[in-house]
Amino acid sequence: MAAINNKTQQAEETLASFIVGTDYKKLPLEAIEISKNAILDCIGVAIAGSIEPPGQILLEELKESKGQPQASVIGGCFRTSVTAASLCNGTMAHALDYDDISDSWTGHPSAVLVPAILAMGERCHSSGKELLIAYVVGFEVGAKLGSEIGNPHYGRGWHITSTIGSIAGAAAAAKLLKLDLQKTQMALGIAASLAGGLRENFGTMTKPLHAGNAARNGNLAGLLASRGFTASEHWLTAAAGFSRAFGADSHRMNEVLSQLGTTFSIILPGIWLKYYPACGGNHSPIEAALKLRQQYLLNPDDIVEVDCAVAPFLPQMLIHHHPKTGLEGKFSLEFGVSVALIDGEALLPQFTDERVNASDIQAFIPKVKYHILPELGDITDLNIPVTITITLKNGNKVFITENNPTGKPTNPMSPEQLRKKFESCTRILSPAERAEVVKLVSKLEQQDRIDELMNLIVGRSK
């Protein structure tokens, strides 16, 4: 067996020390406010996801299998075990692909962390401050790991939301469970072996299951570690550890992890609250198409061809070129551009099976082409520009380059856009309930317990 050197040992200890040693006073005020916005946004998309097929299937299964009533199932009108609630709520939060993303993670932080901390927070009778600490701790662990090993990891076909998300979820769980340094290391090691999730499943119900599984993995790892379950202390950077096994080079890990608690990725580069309910890779193409439509008052019937110049990584995300379902449409550049040009919108009503299969959409999709520009590089970076050129029947061409779509931290949604998104996602709540959820989350740090919030979002029996 390869010898373990001090450098390898230091990385895992650095992670655990950050988790155990972080308290509310060490969190920047900006990080707290960003966290509350992300938590509210995630609750909204989870409520919307509770009536989607993946959420409904899991709800049926959990109702039949039952479980100890430890944590609330969002929109389910019942409570079950911490791990089962995490699995279901995480899946619902990611069901519409409307949840936030992080450039550092190269994935979706809140669809993992919010379901994990809400379920564990109920079990542990945690305060709002404790939830906020756990969220930030989990986010920063996922961000630092993602920034170092995310791109090669993603390029091999792994879905980082599920893999690194499992470890981030364990960090949050360990914080809420108040685990000591040793048990926190064990929780992270357990989660590392539970991690999985393939990008091949993008555009299917299994993609949102990845987020639910990561939330469940994180909480399960924390609970097992709290009871003395063991794992390797060198789970991350050892010769047979997480980094190497999942295809990443961990030679800079100590340098990256040393920034924990000093630089906060939740502030910079920040969190991308989605304006469009689709894969993040589709946002620049969609926004480019919408801008061209508005600027030139384009009639779809006058369009001969739409050419999209993209970076090599984008087709790895947008894998469905002839979509037949709303889920596939979220991962289809061709559909995203087509529906934006035809409808002038790309919101929840657009990403349905019916709209994807409509005759006007299916007739237009073949007009949308893309070609790869190798000089843009193959790094999985949603900030790389997309250029769309439209050829019209009269021979004219119009084009635009976009890399700053609405929702990015550098181009955030307005308060009015955020309000409309939350309302559109929470139609199963009454206006009074919706307002109360907003109020409770906005003052989360003042809540001694989260029972009142959970009672609102668990739903009422019909």
* String of DSSP letters for 261-313: TTS-TTTTT--B--SSSS-GGGHHHHHHHHHHHHHHT--GGGEEEEEEEE-TT
Q: Give the model's pLDDT for residue 252.
A: 81
Q: Give the model's pLDDT for residue 153.
A: 87
Q: From the CA atom positions of the chain, what is the Rg in Å?
A: 22
- Look up residue 164 and give its amino acid: I
Q: Give the model's pLDDT for residue 379.
A: 84
Q: Give the model's pLDDT for residue 5.
A: 42
Helix pair angle (29-49, 110-124), 10° resolution: 90
Q: In this structure, how many other beta carbons lie within 10 angstroms of the beta carbon of residue 442? A: 13
Q: Give the model's pLDDT for residue 397.
A: 98
What are the residues whose beta carbons fall under 8 Å from the beta carbon of 110, sequence distance 6 or more? Answer: 38, 39, 41, 42, 93, 99, 100, 271
Task: Tell me which residue of 462, 447, 452, 455 sits closest to 126, measured CA to CA.
Answer: 447
Helix pair angle (53-65, 206-226), 10° resolution: 40
Q: Give the model's pLDDT for residue 7.
A: 44
| Cα–Cα dist 382/124, whole Å | 37
Measured in Å, how far apart are the chain's first and last C-alpha atoms? 59
Which residues of the chain have a pLDDT value below 70?
1-9, 250, 461-462
Do the beta carbons of residue 149 and residue 243 sit within 8 Å?
yes
- Look up residue 69 and give its amino acid: P
Phi/psi region, residue 77 (left: phi>0; alpha: psi -120 to 50; beta: rest), is: left
Q: Give the model's pLDDT for residue 461.
A: 61
Q: Locate tokens 């939740």: which residue?
A: 266
Return the bridge partners of 158, or none.
198
| Tokens of residue 273, six digits | 């609250």
What structural domains does the chain harbor?
Answer: 6-257 (1.10.4100.10), 280-402 (3.30.1330.120)
